[in-house]
Each structure stands twice: as C-alpha cells, then as structure tokens.
Amino acid sequence: MTQTLVLGVLALSGWCVRGSGPPPRLLQAARPPGLQGAALFTESYFTQTLDHFNFNSYGNGTFRQRYLVADRYWRRGHGPLFFYTGNEGDIWDFALNSGFITELAAQQGALVVFAEHRYYGKSLPFGDASFQVPEVGLLTVEQALADYALLISQLREQLAATRCPVIVFGGSYGGMLSVYMRLRYPNLVAGALAASAPVLSTAGLGEPTQFFRDVTADFQSVEPQCTGAVRGAFQQLRELAEDQDYGAIQKKLSLCQRPSSPQDVSQLYGLLRNAFTLMAMLDYPYSTHFMGSLPANPVKVACQTMLRASELLTNLRDAAGLVYNASGQLGCLDLYRLYVQCADPTGCGLGPNSWAWDYQACTEVDLCFHSNNVTDMFPPMSFGEEQRRAYCSQRWSVLPRPRWLRTQFWGDALSTASNIIFSNGDLDPWANGGVRKSLSPSLIAINIPGAAHHLDPEGSNDADPESVVQARRTEAAVIAQWVKAERTRLA
C-alpha cells in the first residue's frame, strides 16, 4: 500500500529511554524550514509509552513520538479536535497532502493534530535498532492505536479541552486506523472519516485478483486500446526473457544493469507493474508530489505514451518513467534501487519506512494480491499465503496471522458500530477492498465518481471534479452533526 515516497530514502533517527521515566509529556520543537504549507503547523514530540500491553518487557520505557499541531483556527476550549491518525510514512507528507482537514478546521474552529505512527518518520522507538528483531516486535496496529489514545488524552488535559469533541481522520492505512480508533476508543473519539480505507481486503476478506484487475480497469476506461498495448509490451518482454536476450531487454528498457536471471526478470516485472499501480492510485486531475511526482491525469498520459507509433517496449519504458524518472534526469533505471519486492505486492516504497510497512504486511495486514494476465494486463505474479509465510519467516522470523484484523477489528461485521464515514473514489484500486454501501444512518459510504486514492482529504483545487467538492460538503455536514451531538453529551 505504497504511501511512502517512491524515491524517498529517509535517514534513521529516534530515541528510546529504558527503565523508569517521567509520565508522558509534550515537548516543543521548532518548525522545520522550507516545507511549503508548513507554516500552519508546529512540530512537537510526545514522550510515549514504549509497550502499552506488557508491563515487564520494557519496564517503563518511553520514546519520542512526533506530532504536528495547527491551532490557528481553534476556538480554544470549545472547538473540536481534528486528529489525523498517521500512516506508513513521515507525518509531514500527510499533513501537507491533507488540506481538507485544515480547511474544515477553519470552518468549524478546530484544533488540528497530525500524529506520526510509531516506527515511521522520526518516531523510532529504538533509534537505529528499531528494525532489528526483537525490537521491531512493538510495531503493531494495537500499539499505534494506544499511542494515539494516550496522546489525545494528554493533549485534551494539557489544553483544558476535555469537553472538546474529537474527530479522527485518515487516508488509506491511516483511514483504517481511524475506523479502528472509533471501534476501540469510542470514549475518546466521537466519529471517524476514513478515506480510501481498505478495511475488508486487508482483513483477508478480499478477492486476490481484485486489486490489479481494478488497476487495469482504470487504464481500460481511459482508452480501451491502452491495456492491449501494455499486454503486448509485457508479451514482448517475456519472449525476450525466454530467449535469454538480456542485452535487448537492457537496451530497450534503458536498464542500468543487464538482467542475467529469471529473478532479475521478476524484479523487472514488479518494478513496471508498480509504476502502473501508482499512476492508477494517484490519477489526480492535477500534478502531485504525494508519493512521488506525477503529472495531471497520469493514467491518460501513460496511455498516450503506450499508444505512440514507436516500439512497444520503448513506450513501456517511458510510461514507467513517469513514475521513476519524472525529472527526466536519470540516464537509466536501476532495477534494485527504484523498487524493492516485499510482503506487499502493491508496493512498500523505499527506505526505513518501507521496512516498517513490510513488517506490518508480514504480521497483521493481509495483502495477498496477485496478477494473472487474464483479469489484468500484467504478467502472472502470484503472492499467496504460502509465499507470504515463507518470505516473512525468512525476512523477519515471524509467521503472519491471516484474518487477524478481522478478529480484532470486526471485519465485515461493522453494522453495530456508529459515526464512521467511508469515502472511496471509483478510480482507486483500493476502493473495492473497502466499504462501498452505507450500513446504517451513521455508517455512511460516500462513493466519489472520478476520484482516485486519498483525493477527498487533499486540499481544494480548481481542477477538482464536482463529485469531490460535493463529497467534502457532505463530510463537513456530517462531522458538524457529530461534533454538536458529542458537545451535548459532554456538557
């Protein structure tokens, strides 16, 4: 579930204090310079509990959890708290690509908090050792939710805001966490906006061909001949690989290294499939630098590239270059530096954030999708439970727990919950792994025509389709009702 930057390799940093320590506290830090849109936020650190559920494993150990605060619009002591449940990446990436939340805060007088997920960005419990075994074992959904619950509680007390309603927000995996916060901590959270949240498929309730079938459908809907061109390019690539004509593959696709084995060819398939996946997810009507740099309407641009009169493999290279070589400055594509295979066949990204997501995909988050060249346009690449178990045992010394999120967080039995918005764009290949039909008057599904992954949490843009504008209006109205009801309850 590639939310990490495509080419972003982040330096490891973090802190851990073992033994007895002070109670959780808030530490102020300077706002980082040079980030567009960062002026709204102040970066701070919270002394967070290391292990919420085992009092012996790490004693009273703590670590520094990063979070961002925007209080420009807050009606102090009265306005709601809008809390973003950070996902698998640096929290600044999400704060700077979720402008709808601050726009809504301006309307409703809210305090905005973006909390970084443990083991991501700078919130590394064991610093440089965070991804060693067994230290990585404290990376779980449950620990992350408890982090957020404790941070919310402490913020409300420190800011004299215990009567201020809390609404949680999140997109993609962060949207899943928002759902789980409402389920697990309804005493703290009055409602949740879960954008592009595949709560069903990641709980093992999905269909393994769904994701890449829906990626293919995005390209098919733009230009019916496009998927045929992609299939044809992959067919030519397969024939060259079968003939072991690795020199031709290197030349036609401008690879930095000459492939020399079936493993290299599989890596190449994964790199190319990942490019089309990202373009489908981020098929925004304007250019974006979220999860990489892409032009406006990248699916359309890729199809135009694939349907040029020139040679198919050259077109395939250039289409993939929209993701991997947006600047046009790379003279070649490095197979193993631009893409890393992991326990998430939809992509983990690169750098330390990708290690954390790989571990989560090896434990609780079920992402067993595969392509088959029948229901989709990609080469057959399987990834089932048996392959997942083998990989995760070798990489992390763990065995996955299939359907664990279904057990822990209700799976498809959500009808007794309340106050959750499930928003999904119909261009998003993750959409059909989420809730597409309203389950009750307060469990509301909003389906957004013409919208891709995580588009409605983005800030307003002149290029937004009317469907996105209307979805945000509906979300704002529902959230205002939740805030009003919760304020009455707390009075």
Q: Could you list the active site residues?
A: 172, 428, 453
DSSP 8-state secondary structure symbol assigned to residue 288: B
CA pseudo-torsion sign 477, 480, 484, 486: positive
Strand 16-17 relative to strand 62-70: parallel, antiparallel, unpaired? antiparallel
Instruction: Please state, in angstroms and rounded to a whole number, the distance separating the CA atoms of residues 201 and 433.
Output: 5
HSE (side-chain half, CA atoms, 13 Å) at 214:
22
Separation of alpha carbons 394 and 466, rounded Å: 48
CA angle 467, 205, 186 (to 5 degrees): 70
HSE at residue 237, side-chain half, CA atoms within 13 A, is 31
Name the token pair of 130. Answer: 């965070």
Cis peptide before 134 (omega within 30 of 0): yes
117 with 181: CB under 8 angstroms? no
**Under the phi-then-psi rule, with left for phi > 0, alpha for psi from -120 to 50, and beta for the rest, what region is 328?**
left
As beta bridge partners, residue 361 has none
Q: Report in angstroms the alpha-carbon separations of 128 from 6, 49, 122, 131, 376.
A: 22, 18, 11, 8, 40
